[in-house]
Amino acid sequence: MEINTIIVDDEKLARDLLKEFVSNFPSIKIVAECSKGADAVEQINELKPQLVFLDVQMPGLTGFDVLDEIEHEPFIIFSTAYDQYAIKAFEKDAIDYLLKPIDEGRFKVAIERAIERIEKQESNVNELVQTLSKDADKKYSSHVFVQKSEKLLNLPVGEIIHLEASGDYTILSTNAEQFLSSTGISKLEAKLDPDQFIRIHRSTIINIEYLTEIEKHFNGGLVVKMQNGKSFPVSRTYAKEIKKKVV
């Protein structure tokens, strides 16, 4: 498969180095390169790449600003000369975080990880489409089995407060405890009643029965607050699902 990719960095030498490294991977197709965050937002929304190499510190919009502004949500590999942003980067579900000057061996690890994630997502989407086509009238699950030590527990889905992606796994949270599922969040979403469970981010699904309030931030973004005290940002891609509930 061909993976459309955009390189975002205000330094031409950095962009040229990434292009040189990428040339060793035939499946990666560079569809655009941007030196400014504002241009990156426009190109990402227009071209909808699967992968973006994103610098953190740029004039105007930073890399994190770009992520807040885009409507399309690609996979991200951050590149920066500063290591203090690493935790924030992985909170944004980044595939990897490359420190400049970028080592080619380290780049190879990151790009192979990205290819694997993207191919797996494509496979999951195709499988989901086929499942939905064959089983359009299937009822949504009322219970799921979750692993706890050496046992499988029968968990009523109504007790799930929220689901969070964690790499290839999903964390299911209830009032009492958390469970780690080896099933990806998109496959779990297909089992859940969309009138009750809403996707608010690529990595988050909430049960609206436990939603206490929605907070609007000064930049127009939304944050949901749950009964268990957790708060989650709502990505622009999924904000319309929340807004449908507003009367």
Q: What is the pLDDT of residues 61-100, one digit of tens each?
A: 888 899 888 888 889 999 887 667 666 656 666 788 888 8
* 188 lies in the same domain as 231: yes
Q: What is the pLDDT of residues 184-209, one digit of tens each?
A: 899 899 889 988 999 999 999 999 99
Q: Would you say residue 138 lies in a domain?
A: no
Which CATH number do you get for residue 41? 3.40.50.2300
List the beta strands (DSSP E) in 49-194.
51-55, 75-80, 96-99, 143-148, 151-156, 162-166, 169-173, 178-181
* 53 lies in the same domain as 114: yes
pTM of the predicted model as reported, rounded to 2 decimal places = 0.52
Which CATH number do you get for residue 220? 2.40.50.1020
Contact 76, 92 (CB under 8 A): yes
* 89 lies in the same domain as 181: no
Q: What is the pLDDT of residues 119-157, one digit of tens each?
A: 877 655 455 455 544 544 457 888 888 887 767 888 999
* 11 lies in the same domain as 116: yes
Q: Would you say residue 136 lies in a domain?
A: no
pLDDT band at 42 (very low <50, low <70, confident <90, very high): very high
Contact 90, 96 (CB under 8 A): no
Bridge partners of 54?
8, 78
Q: Between the CA of residue 225 and those of 59, 180, 207, 220, 243, what are the distances in Å?
A: 33, 22, 11, 16, 15
Q: Would you say residue 203 lies in a domain?
A: yes
How many domains in the chain? 2
* 171 lies in the same domain as 99: no
* 156 lies in the same domain as 220: yes
Instruction: Point out the domain boundary residue: 86, 110, 131.
Output: 131
Please name the amino acid found at residue 157: V
Give the pLDDT confidence score for residue 130 in this predicted structure. 57
Q: Does residue 220 register a pLDDT over 80?
A: no
* 37 lies in the same domain as 147: no
Q: Would you say residue 201 lies in a domain?
A: yes
